[in-house]
Structures are given as C-alpha cells and as structure tokens.
Homo-oligomer: A and B are copies of this chain.
Amino acid sequence: MIFGDSKAPCAELVVIGDEVVSGLILDRNSQYLGEKIHELGIEVSRITTVGDSASIIANCVKLALERSDWVVLTGGLGATHDDITKSVLLKVFECGLKKDSKVAGMLKERFQARDREVPQSVQSQCEVPEKAEILYNEKGTAPGFKMKQGDSTLFSLPGVPLEMQYLFEKYVAPEMAAQNNKTFLHRLIKTTGLSESDLWTKIGPLQELQKKATIASLPSHLGVRIRISVLADSRQEGESRLDEVEGFLTQKLSSYIYGKDEDEIEEKVGALLQEKSLTLATAESCTGGLIGHLLTQVSGSSDYFKEGFVVYSNAAKINRLQVEPKLIEEFGAVSEPVAQAMAEGVCRVTGADIGVSVTGIAGPSGGSDLKPVGLTYIAVHDRSGTYCKKFIFTHDRIKNKERSAQAALNLVRLRLQGELEK
C-alpha cells in the first residue's frame, strides 16, 4: 500500500475471459483501471482474473462485494455464447431481465448508420438485469451495468478497451470521486543521459520533501522517469506540492530533464525547432531511419524536418553526404571523424540549419576488440560548429538502435537549448 491508509475506501477488479487467463491477449484494462482508481484516492486491493466459468465468476463477485466498497468487472458482456457475465449478475443479485428501450433505440441507430438491421445475435443486448442502472455505451453494442449490494457498488464494463474506458470515465470515475473527498495527483519527470544511481547521487538527500510526496524512479534503457505522487485535500494543494518537488528536482537535474508526463523527446525537439524557426536533417547509419520515424510521429513535423538519409553503406555515406573516402579508410565508418563528416555533409547537401548523424555497431555481429558491439558516435552540426559524442551501449540490437536514436535527439535538444559545448 503506497499510502498505507487503512481507512481509505477500497476497490477490487474482476477480469473475465478465457483469452486472458490463457495468455492469448495481454490485459491492459487492469493497469488502466488500477491507475485511474488509485488516482481517485481509492486503493485497489485485489485484481482477480478468471476464465469464462459461471460458478467461478459468481464466487469471485460475491467475495469481492463482501470485502470491498467498489467492484469493477471487465469482460464477458458481448453477445456470443461465451459471454456470460450478465447471466452471472442475475444469479448474484437474484433478479430477472427487463427490456431497456433506450438500448434498443441506440442499437437500431447504430446499425441503421451502416444500412443494416440489428442482427439477431445482438438483439439480446437490449435485455438488462432488472436491478441494474444502465451505463449507455456510445462506443459499442454492449451496455454496462451499475448494481448495488449493501454499501458496495458494482460496475460491469465491456472488455473492449475503448468502450471500457469510455464508460469508466463517463459513469464510474465521477461517482468514485464524489464519494471520496481526497484527490490523488501525480506527475512524471522524464530524464535521459543519467543512470538511476547517478541520478539519485545528483539529487542527494530528499529530507522534508519525502513528507510532502512519494518520489519513485522508474528506469528503462531510454532514461529514468521520476514519479511524484501526492494525496491531497484539494487539487490546488496537491498541485502546489507537486510544483515544489518538481522545482527541487529541476534545480538538481537541470538539463537532464527533457519533459514531463506525456512529453516525448521528439516533441521537445520539434517545439524547440519551431520556436527558433530552424530546420533539421538526419544522417542515419545504424539507426536505419528510426530518428526520422520518431521525428515524423509528431504532427506538424514537416515544418522543421527537412530531410533524412539512411546511409547504411559506405558508398551512401560518400555519395550522399560527401564524406571523404579516405576518412572511412583511415578511421572506419564507425568513428568520430566520419560521424562529424556525416553531420556536416547533411547540412551542406540539404541546406538544413542543424544536422544530426549516427554511426555505430548495433550488433549482434560486426563488433571487434577495438570496436565492440554498441560503439556509437553521434554528431550534431550547426553554423557554430560540430559536436561529437562517443557512446558504448550494452543492450541488444533493437534496444541499441532505440538508445542511439534517443541519444541523438537528446543532443539536438541540448544544442538547441545552448547546453552543448562545441
């Protein structure tokens, strides 16, 4: 229990589906619900995942209703023979079915829009448990249900993520928030270029700050994210505590931080380029086009991403980017002089304001004692000069490519922020 407050209301999730217990699909709904409910200040105490067996589902639902203030079911609301959640609810709540005319109307409209009659198989969706309040589903054919037993409230939602999220946000979250007067807030601070242990050394003692928020680090090969969480009496109070912790971290980590929450480094680079009205060109060897791919994930990137070259062969480096053959002969394609010549060449050839280049050995083959797998040179060039940095990445081919692209975008970011020596 992250907050260990035993008086907090608690919730349980029940996930229904053979396809989940047998590993045929990955259940992402529980993570979504776990996070959203936790944000509302309600502790999720248990998630039970079961197959399409009526007796097991009924048993789980009964126990969950006894133990918890809130029970959220996902799955088993479709119209096929193995969707049995509705019939289980009839047994648990001891009631029959009634016809809901609003659901019937919505289904009719939905199919009319496609010039079709409501198929026989879908008709049964109009029949709902007598004791249920209906959660009207604009995103699909299966309505959700809200049912009460004593002090506990159960929500039954479809398993299709889009429909589940729609109904959760429309019906479930507002009701949970109203019952609980606390607000849970969190903020992610995203860093790259520091290992987890170096990051904590730089941050130093947290002392008083730890009383104001929970601070956790989440490392990956692309960098360390820091998660700040607070449980506050109001949004205003919570935001102010988050701001205080973020201010402290920013002071300690300065330019290692590239963004927060949903920010991606390619968006930060794009925003900086737009702000300064500059254009960028890429010269990629081992990353094979990944940097261009990331840059163009951002809508509007055509404003600043001028052009990219995937110069996988020596000939391409020479013919496309005017890299002098003798540089490759003398130093090898994976070397500082070649990386620099690629970044300079891509600016000269395209007229872009900034050029970034990557040349490295992604692996698993191609390494030697002198030039091991993972050795990568990344260069950034602009009018003021060329900067080149050597890295040795220690992951597999695919992660080495991702790490290289991230490091390249980070160097462009630092150059644009004026924080990269020439």
In the complex, which residues 294-335 of chain A have their Cβ closer than 8 Å to any Cβ of chain B? 295-297, 299-302, 305-313, 315-316, 320
Q: A307 contacts B310, CB within 8 Å?
A: yes
Interface status of A267 (Cβ within 8 A of chain B): no
Q: Bits for A28-51, please: 1 = Cβ < 8 Å to B, else 0.
A: 101111111110000111111111
In the complex, which residues 5-30 of chain A have their Cβ closer than 8 Å to any Cβ of chain B? 15, 18, 20-28, 30
Q: B46 contacts A34, CB within 8 Å?
A: no
Mark the stretch among A94-102, A105-113, A234-242, A283-291 that contacts chain B: A283-291
CA separation between A296 and B285, bound complex, in Å? 10
Assembly stoichiometry (copies): 2
Question: Assuming A293-B293, A299-B363, A312-B302, is B45 touching A21 (CB within 8 A)?
Answer: yes
Which A residues form the contact surface with B (CB < 8 A)? 1-2, 15, 18, 20-28, 30-38, 43-53, 56, 216, 218, 227, 282, 284, 286-293, 295-297, 299-302, 305-313, 315-316, 320, 350, 362-365, 397-398, 401
Consensus secondary structure, chain A interface: mixed
Q: B293 contacts A288, CB within 8 Å?
A: yes
Of B295, B307, B398, which contacts A297 at CB under 8 A? Answer: B398
Q: A296 contacts B286, CB within 8 Å?
A: yes
Chain B residue numbers with a CB within 8 Å of A293 are 287-290, 292-293, 401
Contact sample, A vs B, 13 pairs, CB 8 Å cutoff: A20-B34, A22-B44, A24-B218, A27-B27, A45-B50, A45-B51, A46-B49, A288-B289, A289-B290, A289-B296, A290-B293, A302-B312, A306-B312
**Which among A44, A288, A292 has the greatest number of chain B C-beta atoms within 10 A?**
A288
